[in-house]
């Protein structure tokens, strides 16, 4: 009972922290179930958490059409949240995602596993922000547009 209570408490505290942050924050439990994202995340994810609701890791990884910076599909195990979940270590990276509003965005993500004891993973928390999309490469020898 204590372990279960600690898990629950850790996620409740993480949610309370996230709700107070101006940085977009996403929280999932140890099974990868999305349990919350804050108001700051709504602009990037394209819908409020109340409207989107909870979804499993495979659901959110495909729902948001996540790709690497070169546009190749990114498996869950290579995403920062997937690394935090499966390898139980912090991870950072950039990725492209399509919000629930249909907008495609380049996003930087830092994900950290949450432990209730040194060995018991209870979930993950990710802080993320939209990056400036890179400018298209210029062809050598062509003049800059005026």
pLDDT tens digits, residue range 109-138? Answer: 999 999 988 999 999 999 999 998 765 444
* CA 25/CA 127 separation, integer angstroms: 5
Model confidence band, residue 63 (pLDDT cutoffs 50, 70, 90): confident
CA separation, residue 17 to residues 48, 66, 136 (Å): 17, 26, 38
3-class SS of residue 135: coil
Which CATH topology does 2-130 take? Beta-Lactamase (3.30.450)
pTM of the model: 0.82
pLDDT more than 90, % of the chain: 66
* Domain boundaries defined on the chain: 2-130
Taken as a whole, the chain contains a residue count of 146
Q: Which helix (DSSP H) or strand (DSSP E) does residue 20 occupy?
A: helix 2-20
Give the residue-averaged pLDDT of 91-107.
94
Model confidence band, residue 6 (pLDDT cutoffs 50, 70, 90): low
In the numeric block, which tokens belong to residue 144? 């800059």
Of 105, 86, 83, the closest CA to residue 96 belongs to 105
Write the DSSP symbol of residue 141. Answer: T
* CA 97/CA 127 separation, integer angstroms: 15
Q: For residue 39, how many other CB atoms are within 10 A of its CB?
A: 14
Between the ranges 7-16, 53-62, 70-79, 85-94, where is the mean pLDDT highest? 85-94
Q: What's the confidence (pLDDT) of residue 126?
A: 97
Q: What's the confidence (pLDDT) of residue 139?
A: 47
């Amino acid at each position: 009972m204590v372990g279960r209570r600690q898990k629950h408490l850790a996620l409740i505290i993480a949610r309370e922290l996230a709700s107070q942050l101006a940085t977009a924050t996403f929280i999932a439990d140890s099974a990868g179930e999305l349990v919350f994202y804050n108001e700051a995340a709504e602009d990037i994810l394209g819908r409020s958490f109340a409207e989107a609701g909870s979804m499993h890791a495979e659901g959110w990884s495909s729902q948001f059409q996540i790709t690497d910076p070169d546009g190749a599909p990114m498996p869950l195990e290579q995403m920062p949240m997937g690394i935090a979940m499966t390898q139980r270590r912090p991870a950072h990276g950039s990725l492209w995602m399509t919000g629930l509003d249909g907008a495609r965005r380049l996003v930087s993500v830092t994900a950290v596993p949450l432990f209730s004891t040194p060995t018991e993973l209870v979930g993950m928390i990710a802080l993320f922000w939209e990056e400036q999309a890179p400018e298209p490469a210029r062809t050598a020898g062509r003049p800059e547009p005026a």
